[in-house]
């Protein structure tokens, strides 16, 4: 058992881009309602220089924080942060919540950047991660070209101060365009210099595109964007990234979907809470009440529910739509049963 406050999450170790709030909520409910420490499997943590880094059980750790648990069962391993990263990747590949597309790319980038796993074949990595070998080949080519570009840019001389200014000057030298032209293009595209470098690397993913051809292509795009930049003397509008807007729209849609699902879940919980007040009396009297109700006109809602739904679903519908009437009918049934018993 380790205190929850001692367990650390390192983004360089966690294989997922983000955690799933629905899984966290489900686990948190188990932690709140079930007793004992064996509710869920123990976490796998690595002790590195006196710090406990989580390698397996990120959803469980966040759920424990939601449930305000003080301690969690853990399996402690000895090793480095690199060992924890590799363990985390393969532990979640074999079981647990499935990886998304972005998670798999994140995992492959780490494996291809690791000295041991980078020597494995594309097919072996594809088989482990669950993607095509062509995707692995393209990603390997992109990362290789990206490293080559970074090494090439680092050798170019600069006369400016500041990391961004130096990156812009080196990139402009590589593309053989004026730095002012590159700055205008970056503002127009809503990009940083490192993002443009990644675009250069992506361009060589296909075998028929050489680094020289990719540089000429991006150079033409930079010059085209610079031509569309505001003329001198005119106030330029703040740069707006279409990618950023798309990402914001996706995040907003995800938040709205999460809110909708949460609202539906809360409505179901409320209906179940209201229905629980009728479940016990209906279960006790259903065999005796039905003949009494059948002698009188049956409300259409009850006839429909009875023909299409099970008893719990009918009870839930009754609680939602016929609560006052069913309460009165139950009372009448009890009085009628008492009269029959004394007759």
Q: What is the pLDDT of residues 158-181, one digit of tens each?
A: 888 888 888 888 888 888 888 888
| Tokens of residue 221, six digits | 């795009």
CATH assignment at residue 36 = 3.90.1530.10
pLDDT at 37 over 80: no
Residue 239 lies in a domain: no
Residue 238 lies in a domain: no
Residue 65 lies in a domain: yes
Co-location of 256 and 316 in the same domain: yes
Better-predicted residue by pLDDT, 95 or 12? 12
State the Cα–Cα distance between residues 116 and 138, nearest whole angstrom. Answer: 19
Angle at 131 between CA 129 and CA 133, to 5 degrees: 105
How many domains, the chain?
Answer: 3
Co-location of 255 and 215 in the same domain: no
Q: Determine the 3-state secondary structure of 2 from DSSP.
A: strand
- pLDDT tens per residue, range 214-227: 788 888 888 877 77
Which of 171, 206, 230 is the C-terminal boundary of a domain? 230
Co-location of 160 and 52 in the same domain: no
Query: Computed from CA positions of residues 323, 328, 330, 331, in that sequence, does the dihedral angle turn out positive or negative?
Result: positive
Residue 84 lies in a domain: yes
Co-location of 72 and 172 in the same domain: no
Q: Beta partners for 43?
A: 74
- pLDDT tens per residue, range 74-85: 989 988 889 998
pLDDT at 115 over 80: yes
Domain of residue 42 covers 1-116
Q: What is the pLDDT of residue 318?
A: 52
Which of 55, 85, 116 is the C-terminal boundary of a domain? 116
Residue 61 lies in a domain: yes
- pLDDT tens per residue, range 287-339: 444 444 444 444 444 444 444 444 455 555 555 555 556 566 666 666 766 66
pLDDT at 130 over 50: yes
pLDDT at 117 over 70: yes
Burial level of 223, CB count in 10 A (0-12/13-18/19+)? middle
Co-location of 89 and 22 in the same domain: yes
Q: What percent of the chain has pLDDT over 90?
A: 1
Beta carbons within 8 Å of 130's beta carbon, 6+ residues apart = 93, 99, 104
Co-location of 294 and 337 in the same domain: yes
Q: What is the pLDDT of residue 296?
A: 46
Residue 153 lies in a domain: yes
Co-location of 16 and 111 in the same domain: yes
Residue 308 lies in a domain: yes
Co-location of 138 and 219 in the same domain: yes
Co-location of 255 and 191 in the same domain: no
| Tokens of residue 194, six digits | 């490192």
Residue 336's H or E segment, with its range, is helix 323-342
pLDDT at 241 over 60: no
Residue 127 lies in a domain: no
Co-location of 151 and 108 in the same domain: no
23, 59 Cβ separation under 8 angstroms: yes
Q: What is the pLDDT of residue 246?
A: 76
Beta carbons within 8 Å of 103's beta carbon, 6+ residues apart = 15, 16, 17
Q: How many helices (H) and strands (E) does the chain have?
A: 14, 6
Co-location of 252 and 180 in the same domain: no
Would you place residue 234 in the very low, low, confident or very high pLDDT band (cuts 50, 70, 90)? very low
Task: From residue 73, give the alpha-carbon distance in Å to each of 44, 101, 162, 178, 189.
Answer: 9, 31, 47, 59, 49
Mean pLDDT score, 192-212: 78
Which of 82, 116, 150 is the C-terminal boundary of a domain? 116
């Amino acid at each position: 058992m380790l205190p929850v406050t001692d367990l650390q999450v390192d983004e360089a170790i966690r294989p997922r881009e983000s955690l799933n709030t629905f899984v966290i909520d489900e686990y948190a409910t188990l932690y709140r309602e079930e007793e004992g420490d064996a509710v869920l499997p123990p976490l796998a943590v690595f002790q590195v220089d006196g710090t406990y880094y989580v390698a397996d059980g990120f959803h469980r750790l966040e759920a424990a924080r939601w449930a305000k648990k003080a301690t969690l069962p853990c399996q402690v391993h000895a090793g480095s942060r690199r060992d924890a990263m590799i363990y985390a990747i393969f532990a979640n590949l074999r079981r647990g919540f499935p990886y998304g597309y972005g998670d798999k790319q994140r995992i492959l980038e780490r494996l291809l950047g690791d000295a041991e796993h980078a020597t494995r074949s594309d097919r072996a990595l594809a088989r482990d991660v669950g993607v095509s070998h062509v995707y692995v080949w393209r990603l390997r080519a992109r990362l290789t070209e990206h490293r080559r570009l970074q090494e090439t840019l680092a050798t170019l001389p600069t006369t400016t101060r500041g990391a961004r200014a130096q990156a812009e000057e080196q990139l402009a030298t590589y593309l053989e365009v004026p730095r002012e032209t590159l700055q205008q293009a970056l503002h127009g595209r809503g990009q940083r210099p490192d993002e443009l470098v990644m675009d250069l690397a992506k361009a060589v993913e296909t075998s028929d595109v050489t680094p020289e051809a990719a540089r000429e292509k991006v150079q033409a795009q930079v010059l085209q964007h610079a031509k569309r930049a505001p003329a001198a003397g005119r106030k330029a509008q703040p740069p707006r990234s279409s990618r950023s807007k798309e990402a914001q729209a996706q995040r907003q849609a995800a938040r709205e979907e999460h809110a909708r699902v949460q609202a539906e879940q809360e409505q179901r919980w409320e209906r179940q809470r209201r229905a629980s007040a009728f479940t016990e009396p209906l279960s006790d009297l259903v065999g005796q009440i039905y003949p009494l109700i059948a002698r009188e006109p049956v409300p259409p809602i009850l006839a429909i529910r009875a023909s299409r739904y099970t008893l719990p679903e009918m009870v839930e519908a009754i609680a939602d739509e016929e609560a006052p009437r069913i309460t009165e009918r139950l009372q009448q049934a009890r009085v009628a049963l008492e009269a029959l018993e004394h007759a």
